[in-house]
Structure 1
Amino acid sequence: MSQEKRKPRTVDVLPSDGGWGWVIVAGCFMVTICTRAVTRCISIFFVEFQMHFGHDYSGTAWIHSLVDCTTMLCADKPLTLTLKIVTSGISHQHMFSSWQCCDSSPLGSFIGNRFSCRVAVILGGLLASTGLVLSSFATSLEFLYLSLGVLTGVGFALSYTPAISMVGAYFSERKALAFGIAMSGSGIGTFILAPVVQLLIDYYSWRGALLILGGFVSNLCVCGALLRPIVLKEDEDEACPLARDSECGFKAPTEKEALQTKMDSERCSSSSSSSSSCSVSSLSCFQSLQEYSFLLMPDFLVLAGSFLFLANGCSLPFVYLVPYALDVGVSHHQAAFLMSILGIVDIIGNITFGWLTDRRWLKRHRKLCYMFALGMEGLCCLFIPLLRTFALLVPFSVLYGYFDGAYVALIPVVTSDVVGTSQLSSALGVAYFLHAIPYLLSPPIGGWLVDTTGSYTATFFLSGFSLIASSLLLFTAAVVRRCHQRQPRHGGANGAQAAPTGDPCCKSEPADFYSPKNKDMMITNTPATTS
């Protein structure tokens, strides 16, 4: 009896799509406010830190860099929740929610698996709150590096992932709606917190503002207490996800392959303990190699290079928009309101652009839409040096926020088109890791440019050209691929179309397939029929 009482209360049911699940959604909504929105508002403290400690732009920028990088570096491998979302009836315009929630920190995974998601979120809340409170007593910039950059960043990483995963556990049919509400806390929280943080700085100084934020972030512990553990029954009738052939697109596993997999698992379970351990270890190594086989795909290598340019450019405006606005004479409250506009329009861009690219007439051009969003975001950054009043900076915040949300909505879709749904989880994990490196280095580099040149022009040019380079890299690869595919078709003396080379992938057209249960549209490549 004593052991049974120690066990956490669990519910062994299928997702109820309601009930306590909406409490989980509300808790996750608060978690995204306390983590992602607070992280964005750290840039409001930039000028305060710089003036108080007397450091240059480059040294001050390390604080924001460490918060973002600590959270990203803690992102190891996305949860398999992403794959379940894509294959369980959720349309592609809602995949942005799954991308944002799928980073799973190794420390958070260990605590969540060893204890529970509730413990992980509560522990993360304690660490993040402690980091903010300690930062209010900082005596040097190096102190802030550890307290606000590392300690608070680790706390955010611990809290964010388990809370999001609990939403997926409680919902099935309404999973898209649940994730949409939960993830909207990032933009709505930024919209509300940005002016509030500036008011706190005006009334209580930056130390008092950080102390109050520490108390506010401690609500993560309350949110964690709401995460009631749940044990889900396996739904055997759920449609199996389609595996991706690295050359010819998607393909469904045959009955022979499924039977062979089952026989292998039974053979491992019936063998002796020593041989079983050896077999399981070998199988685990083989699965790990197969899981990351997409790293050798040329298309993914191009996409990875694009992610590096993207992360290098997108982080700079969030760090330097408020300092730039203050430098050109905008008031503190108006500069904070620019961040509010960025936050709320980001959510609008997520939803509307995702919905538009899910329409049938744009579905085949999603990658082109992704390139367009990146290019427009880069152009916005190039025009910032000409915008020197609040009235001109407001349209920039609107446009940049919209296209920032637009490309975020398409990242999981574009990645899925390259590696397939079967490897999407691992591919997004690599994408998070690739984002971490520029997130750490680009803000200090931008600060160094400000210190060297005496203006923000070079910093925003670096941001704009990086985003445009990310778009042009993908566009160039697409043009080269199209030219390479057209070469075999013009062979022969009379200019007739060349005969097929035996590789069915050389002649393929996208076709739409649906899973048998959920009728979720999947894009696959099938050989074109010739008359």
Structure 2
Amino acid sequence: MEAFGESRARTAWAFSINSAVHQLAGPLGGVIIRKIGPRKTLFMSGIVAALGYLGSAFGQSLYILYISLGVVNGVGTCLNYYAWIVGLSLYFVEKRGLMMGLAMAGSGVGVLTIGPAIAKAVPEIGWRESMILCAGLSLLFGIFGAPVSRKVPNKGMDESDKKFVDVVTGKCRAIWEVVPSLCSCGVYQVKPQNLGNNASDTIVAGGLVQGNESTKDDYLLSSHRTQWRVLLFSSVLYTVASSAFFTLLKDWINKIGLEDITPTALILIGVGDIVGRLVAGVATWQLAKHRTSDVILIGVAQLLLSSALVGAAFTESSVGVLASVFGIGTSMGFQMVLMAVSPMKNNNIEGLGVILLLGGLGALVGPPMAGYLVDELDNYKYALMATAAAPMLGAVICLLCFSIIKCKARQFKNISQQNTDYS
């Protein structure tokens, strides 16, 4: 603020843009990983993120900060996040959820350790020098991404997983989809002559016309389609509620006269986030064989976030506030792992980008909504309760989705039994 002579609000826009671009650039990340694979994308992400920090360090206006720190660095961190999620999916099939939970918990630990270290460095060496330090740390993305080898073990993989590995590592090229789409039932290979030296074969997902007879594929595709829509809608509701809460957090704590516990509250949010990621990793691993596990866990995460927000609205004690923010942090970590694991279960690289995109749109809606609620209701209690309505709606929709899937399962079982009896 002092360097550019700008207000706190205008300066804060740089970080808001960074957060939004980090998610809105998700579809771009999917395209790049399809083209060059996760290993090269990790190298690229480190360079792009470092350029963003360096541009901020040497920038002479706030608008340069918007572009360098907001847009360039946001794209770099998005590519890094995207690439290591896909990279982990290459190596772990049976324990994919557990490994992602552990890896994402590591990012939370980094925030709690490196974040305070950088904050201490700013008064000592200056904010521009700290940006250069962050640029150096960003280059480590590529170094730590080097072990993401093209040689991937095939243990525990089915044919769809093996095709997915071939596309991501550059052994073959995807014309449309590497796995069956929502309206297709099979994966086929063709070997044309003019595909270039890097493509040994090409994978095409072919659509089939659904017949009159109900099959297991019909049920599985219908179940997947329903859960996928719930996941997309849930990502929007989650980011709307969580971003709105962070907008209200500081003023809400000050309003109830507990401003002294603000640092502790922020730490507990971080600790809860780590706990949520670890629990989600174990849960997705243990429930991986259950077809409805995703929608159940998403509903649990949404219900936890809504309950914590309602608890925050009705408490004015330090213990109540700290318990509420810990619950909110836990639900956030839980949801983050689910949004990464769910699309990768079906090797849906582009699906992860769509989730990030919708999450970014939700993050743009949440803060203005929070400000509007406070201005209109003139009461943080009602504003928090209104914010809690979004994840509560998500929990109800997950319950309905679960009921629909179970109903379809019973119908499929009855039809199969009738066909067996007829035969």
What's the TM-score once normalised by structure 1's chain length?
0.57
User: Which residue of the partner structure matches residue 108 of structure 2?
Assistant: 187
User: Which residue of the partner structure matches residue 34 of structure 1?
Assistant: none
- 8 Å contact kept, 1:375–1:471: yes
Structure 1: which 5+ runs fail to align?
1-44, 78-103, 489-503, 509-525
Of the candidates 113, 125, 145, which is equivalent to residue 49 of structure 2? 125
Of the candidates 403, 409, 412, which is equivalent to residue 331 of structure 2? 403
User: Which residue of the partner structure matches residue 241 of structure 1?
Assistant: 160
Of the candidates 349, 355, 368, which is equivalent to residue 296 of structure 2? 368
1:411-470, Cα deviation, whole Å (9 max, x unpaired): 456657xxxx54633333322222121122222332344455555445433431111111
User: Which residue of the partner structure matches residue 212 of structure 1?
Assistant: 130
User: Which residue of the partner structure matches residue 432 of structure 1?
Assistant: 356
Amino acid of the structure 2 residue aligned with 1:72: Q
Of the candidates 259, 263, 266, which is equivalent to residue 339 of structure 1? 266
Of the candidates 111, 121, 142, which is equivalent to residue 224 of structure 1? 142
Q: SS at 1:116's partner residue? A: helix
Quickly say closer, same or farther: Cα 1:173–1:197, change in 2 above 3 A. same
User: Which residue of the partner structure matches residue 310 of structure 2?
Assistant: 382
Quickly say closer, same or farther: Cα 1:387–1:53, change in 2 above 3 A. farther
Q: SS at 2:265's partner residue? A: helix
Amino acid of the structure 2 residue aligned with 1:212: S
Q: SS at 1:429's partner residue? A: helix
CA RMSD of aligned residues (A): 4.9
Task: Using the TM superposition, name which of 364-373 and 436-445 deviates more.
Answer: 364-373
Quickly say closer, same or farther: Cα 1:307–1:115, change in 2 above 3 A. closer
Structure 2: which 5+ runs fail to align?
162-178, 209-220
Quickly say closer, same or farther: Cα 1:70–1:329, change in 2 above 3 A. same
1:321 Cα offset (Å): 2.4
Partners in 1 of 2:406 and 2:343 — Cα distance? 19
- 8 Å contact kept, 2:86–2:349: no
Partners in 2 of 1:184 and 1:153 — Cα distance? 20
Written as runs of structure 1 = structure 2, the 5 A alignment for 1:135-214 is: 144-162=65-83, 181-193=102-114, 195-196=116-117, 203=123, 208-209=126-127, 211-214=129-132
User: Which residue of the partner structure matches residue 14 of structure 1?
Assistant: none
- 8 Å contact kept, 2:42–2:142: yes
User: Which residue of the partner structure matches residue 76 of structure 1?
Assistant: 27
- 8 Å contact kept, 1:128–1:156: no
Amino acid of the structure 1 residue aligned with 2:272: V
1:240 Cα offset (Å): 1.6
Amino acid of the structure 1 residue aligned with 2:276: G
Written as runs of structure 1 = structure 2, the 5 A alignment for 1:263-302 is: 264-265=190-191, 268-269=192-193, 287=205, 297=225, 300-302=228-230
1:36-89, Cα deviation, whole Å (9 max, x unpaired): xxxxxxxxx9xx99x96164xxx7774444222211121127xxxxxxxxxxxx
- 8 Å contact kept, 2:98–2:281: no
Partners in 1 of 2:86 and 2:325 — Cα distance? 31
Quickly say closer, same or farther: Cα 1:308–1:174, change in 2 above 3 A. closer
User: Which residue of the partner structure matches residue 213 of structure 2?
Assistant: none
- 8 Å contact kept, 2:234–2:298: no
* Matched-pair identity in %: 18
- 8 Å contact kept, 2:96–2:285: no
User: Which residue of the partner structure matches residue 367 of structure 2?
Assistant: 443
Q: SS at 2:158's partner residue? A: coil
User: Which residue of the partner structure matches residue 176 of structure 2?
Assistant: none
Amino acid of the structure 2 residue aligned with 1:188: V
1:4-26, Cα deviation, whole Å (9 max, x unpaired): xxxxxxxxxxxxxxxxxxxxxxx
Quickly say closer, same or farther: Cα 1:309–1:124, change in 2 above 3 A. same
Task: Using the TM superposition, name which of 457-466 and 390-399 deviates more.
Answer: 457-466
Partners in 2 of 1:528 and 1:346 — Cα distance? 49
Amino acid of the structure 2 residue aligned with 1:347: I
Structure possessing the higher radius of gyration over alpha carbons: 1
1:118-137, Cα deviation, whole Å (9 max, x unpaired): 641341232232254357x6
Quickly say closer, same or farther: Cα 1:227–1:457, change in 2 above 3 A. same
Quickly say closer, same or farther: Cα 1:505–1:412, change in 2 above 3 A. farther
Amino acid of the structure 2 residue aligned with 1:403: S
- 8 Å contact kept, 2:309–2:387: yes
- 8 Å contact kept, 1:130–1:152: no
Q: SS at 1:232's partner residue? A: coil
Partners in 2 of 1:451 and 1:304 — Cα distance? 30
Partners in 2 of 1:108 and 1:329 — Cα distance? 49
Partners in 2 of 1:313 and 1:480 — Cα distance? 26
Q: SS at 1:76's partner residue? A: helix
Please state if 1:310 is matched with 2:272. Answer: no
Partners in 1 of 2:414 and 2:128 — Cα distance? 59
- 8 Å contact kept, 1:381–1:460: yes
Partners in 2 of 1:323 and 1:317 — Cα distance? 10
